[in-house]
């Protein structure tokens, strides 16, 4: 069945970068995009960006422009999200999700990766 | 930037109808999706393209979208429906979520 499995929890110092992986199973990787969403403790969902896994096109949230980079490794059906210049405000659970775009929604989500930024 | 507004909380008695709204400028011109999130779990898609239910989502969930408001309606609400609900829409190649609504079934 369709599954997205994310990498484990991370603890980072302020100013550092973090890279989270999202390995997909059970479908043709390049037929669906991947969105990344984060959720700070006790807060709502924040869309971070989307990647077209077929041609590499990306769209990023304006609030994160310049700090977030989405990539993929097609050979292993894996998506990556890298966030740089971390501050305590970036402490959150980060999710990847399969996204067909055009209003089809994020139909399958990873289990989430907790990133804690603390000195 | 585009914003979606949801009520922070909605309460409903078991068996009654719950309506959760999501407001945004000319939202009816965009597709809206809805997600359910229970504590400690990843979000679950419960409605897409305004009115369509993914496979496995009960028929008691329905959606509408017109003007500036989209609505997720849960008919015959059950205790298991108690969760946070988030709306989502796309605007100019970026996406946005509403702030979320905590649905309490009491």
pLDDT band for B9, please (50, 70, 90 cuts).
very high
Q: Give, for all 119 residues of chain A, the pLDDT tens digit.
A: 999 999 999 999 999 999 999 999 999 999 999 999 999 999 999 999 999 999 999 999 999 988 999 999 999 999 999 999 999 999 999 999 999 877 899 999 999 999 999 99
pLDDT band for B98, please (50, 70, 90 cuts).
very high
B49–A50 CB contact, under 8 Å? no
> Residues of A near B (CB-CB distance < 8 A)?
35, 37, 44-47, 50, 59-62, 95, 97, 101-107, 109-112
B30-63 burial: b if 16+ Cβ within 10 Å, else e: bbbbbbbbeeeebbbbbbbebeebbeebeeebbb
pLDDT, residue B93, reads 85
Q: How far apart are alpha carbons B35 and B54 in whole angstroms?
A: 11
A112 to chain B: which residues are within 8 Å by CB?
42
Q: Using the predicted structure, report yes or no on whether residue B1 has a pLDDT greater than 90.
A: no
CA geometry: angle at A72 spanning A59 and A76, to 5°? 155
Determine what percent of chain B is predicted with pLDDT higher than 70: 100
Q: What is the pLDDT of residues B51-81, one digit of tens each?
A: 999 999 999 999 999 999 999 999 999 999 9
Q: How far apart are alpha carbons B89 and B96 in whole angstroms?
A: 6
Q: Using the predicted structure, report yes or no on whether residue B27 has a pLDDT greater than 90.
A: yes
Q: Using the predicted structure, report yes or no on whether residue B92 has a pLDDT greater than 90.
A: no
Report the sign of the C-alpha dihedral through residues A114, A117, B1, B6, in that order: positive
Q: Which residues pair with B69 in a beta bridge?
A: B23, B66
CB-based contacts of B55, cutoff 8 Å, min separation 6 = none
Q: Which helix (H) or strand (E) holds B92?
A: none
Report the sign of the C-alpha dihedral through residues B22, B25, B27, B28, in that order: positive
pLDDT, residue A63, reads 93
* Sheet containing strand A18-25, strands side by side: A3-6, A18-25, A78-83, A68-73
Q: How far apart are alpha carbons B55 and B5 in whole angstroms?
A: 27
Residues A110, A95 contacting (CB under 8 angstroms):
yes
Structure tokens given for B88: 């989502």
Residues A83, A64 contacting (CB under 8 angstroms):
yes
pLDDT, residue B5, reads 98
pLDDT, residue A102, reads 77
User: Residue B26, Cα to own-chain centre: how many angstroms?
Assistant: 17
pLDDT, residue A103, reads 86
Residues A49, A101 contacting (CB under 8 angstroms):
no
The mean pLDDT of chain B is 97
A46–B97 CB contact, under 8 Å? yes
The residue-averaged pLDDT of B70-95 equals: 95
B95–A104 CB contact, under 8 Å? no
Which of left, alpha, beta for B93 (phi over 0: left; psi -120 to 50: alpha)? left
CB-based contacts of A66, cutoff 8 Å, min separation 6 = none
């Amino acid at each position: 069945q369709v599954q997205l499995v994310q990498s484990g929890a991370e603890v980072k110092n302020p100013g550092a970068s973090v890279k989270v992986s999202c390995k997909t199973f059970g479908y043709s990787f390049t037929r669906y995009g991947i969105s990344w969403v984060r959720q700070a403790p006790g807060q709502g969902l924040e869309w971070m960006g989307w990647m077209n896994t077929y041609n590499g096109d990306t769209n990023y949230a304006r609030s994160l422009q310049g700090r977030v980079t989405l990539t993929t490794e097609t050979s292993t059906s894996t998506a990556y999200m890298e966030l740089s210049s971390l501050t305590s405000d970036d402490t959150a659970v980060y999710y990847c999700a399969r996204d067909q775009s055009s209003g089809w929604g994020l139909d399958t989500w990873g289990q989430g990766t907790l990133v804690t930024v603390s000195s | 930037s585009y914003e979606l507004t949801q009520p922070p909380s909605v309460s409903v008695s078991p068996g009654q109808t719950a309506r959760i709204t999501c407001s945004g400028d000319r939202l009816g011109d965009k597709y809206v999706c809805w997600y359910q999130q229970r504590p400690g779990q990843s979000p679950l898609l419960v409605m897409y393209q305004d009115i369509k239910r993914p496979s496995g989502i009960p028929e008691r969930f329905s959606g509408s979208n017109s003007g500036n408001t989209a609505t997720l309606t849960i008919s015959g609400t059950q205790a298991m429906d108690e969760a946070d609900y988030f709306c989502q829409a796309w605007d100019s190649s970026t996406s946005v979520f509403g702030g979320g609504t905590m649905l309490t079934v009491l």
